[in-house]
Amino acid sequence: MYDAPEQQPVVLEDDAALQQPIIRQMLVQLRCMDSYGTYDTWSDARVLDPLVLTKERRRAIPVVGDPDETTLARIKAYYNAIAQMVERETGLLAVPVLNISHEGFGRALILVGKLVALDKTLRDVHRFGFDSLDALVGEAEKQLGKAAGLVAAHRDVAEL
């Protein structure tokens, strides 16, 4: 993932999106995965800033590349947050499953019981990011809505 401290941050401390439930959950997930305590002194905006890829940032990332561990952790945090929100909305245990090759291709699934509530094909994960926090919130809410809708429509399978 793009992580250049010499660039100006694009996520501001007073960004209203920082209060959205999915963003709050992403912060919980990212801070939980931080086993070295790197994020302990970082503000929420600084922790999330690498997830926002402006045109300049996206241009700086090679078209072909392998994802690093930090990028993979951000992807895991994103799908863990969505799974947690599915749990909150449906009252059923939601389990995220990620399968990503070393080349950055794979799938993200969220399973609720025997139901595949979310199935997302992943490509070029070394370029994982969003145009803004609002875009992240919009995409996550869209995926959450679809997953919760599937659980509601097939609750008998989700409860298995």
Q: Secondary structure of 30-95 in the HEC alphabet?
A: HHHHCCCCHHHHCCHHHHHHHHECCHHHHHHCCCCCCCCHHHHHHHHHHHHHHHHHHHHHHCCCEE
Residue 9 located in a structural domain: no
Q: What is the per-residue pLDDT for 59?
A: 82
Query: Model's pTM, two decimal places?
Result: 0.87
Helix, strand, or coil (residue 31):
helix
Q: What is the per-residue pLDDT for 5?
A: 46
Side-chain half-sphere exposure of 6, counting CA atoms within 13 A:
2
Select the highest-mean-pLDDT range: 4-8, 61-65, 113-117. Answer: 113-117
Q: Is residue 66 predicted with pLDDT exceeding 50?
A: yes
Residue 128 located in a structural domain: yes
Segments forming the whole domain that contains residue 82: 16-158
Pairing of strands 106-112, 115-122: antiparallel
Give the Å distances, CA to CA, from 156 to 4, 11, 75, 113, 151.
47, 42, 30, 9, 9
How many structural domains are present in the chain? 1
Q: What percent of the chain has pLDDT over 70?
A: 96
Give the Å distances, CA to CA, from 155 to 86, 93, 94, 125, 142.
13, 12, 13, 32, 19
Residue 119: phi and psi, rounded to 5, are: -135, 110
Residue 3 located in a structural domain: no
Q: What is the per-residue pLDDT for 129?
A: 87
User: Where residue 51 sits, what CATH number does that domain have?
Assistant: 1.10.3100.20
Q: What is the mean pLDDT of residues 52-76?
A: 85
Residue 122 located in a structural domain: yes
